[in-house]
Every structure is written in structure tokens, then in C-alpha cells.
Amino acid sequence: DQQVKQNSPSLSVQEGRISILNCDYTNSMFDYFLWYKKYPAEGPTFLISISSIKDKNEDGRFTVFLNKSAKHLSLHIVPSQPGDSAVYFCAASARGSNYKLTFGKGTLLTVNP
């Protein structure tokens, strides 16, 4: 039972354009969401997070949007850079879950020069 779903295994964009990574969830108890970036054979690097009391959070080139009614969140990267090429994981946690994170399967983003 996949509670966090990233339905696109891969995404390819041109340098300078916008990258939009999507994530859906099924557990209505999730109230905190995070995006991580991961290179092969390395641990994930925290990018940005959002609480369920917000619908948008922005940090530099990264913006996360949350649509609670649709149980959907997205990560926007603009402008995209070749160094952004990596696997991006969406993660969620539920209040009272002892801070456990549930991860999606990840989306491989390739930014072409």
C-alpha cells in the first residue's frame, strides 16, 4: 500500500526552464511534507518542506505547493540547472507517528544543457 506516490519515474527538461515534480498521497493524517534530492550512492539532501497549514513555501529557486483537498503536492524548480539532475523524493509524516517519514519512489530529473 503506497501512501506516497510519485507517478513519474523520470522527467527531462531544458536548462533554464521550469521543472515540476509531482507527488500524491493517500493518508489524510499526513500533515508535514518534505522534498529530498539524492545522487547515486549518497544520502538524501533536504531541500524544502511544507506544513499542512500552508499551501505554498518558497526557498530560492525551489517552491513547494500543497493542495490538501486533492492530496497533491508539487515541487517547482525555476530556472532549472544541470546540477539539479538527481532523483527527487517526496516524503510525508503524520502527527503522532513518532516523526516517521514515508517516502515516494522518487523521480529522476535530468536537466539538459
As measured in angstroms, the least distance from the Cβ of 57 to another protein is 12
Q: Which stretch binds another protein (CB under 8 A): 12-20, 44-52, 54-62, 73-81?
A: 44-52
48 to 77, contacts with another protein by CB under 8 A?
49
3-state secondary structure the chain: CCCEECCCCEEEEECCCCEEEEEEECCCCEEEEEEEEECCCCCCEEEEEEECCCCEEEECCEEEEEECCCCEEEEEECCCCHHHCEEEEEEEEECCCCCCCEECCCEEEEEEC
Tell whether residue 11 is a contact of another protein (CB under 8 A). no
- Do 111 and 82 touch, CB atoms closer than 8 A? yes
| 18 vs 39 by CB, closer to another protein | 39
Q: Tell me the number of residues near another protein by CB under 8 A.
A: 21
| 4 vs 77 by CB, closer to another protein | 4
Residues in contact with another protein by the rule CB under 8 A: 32, 34, 36, 41-46, 49, 89, 93, 98-106
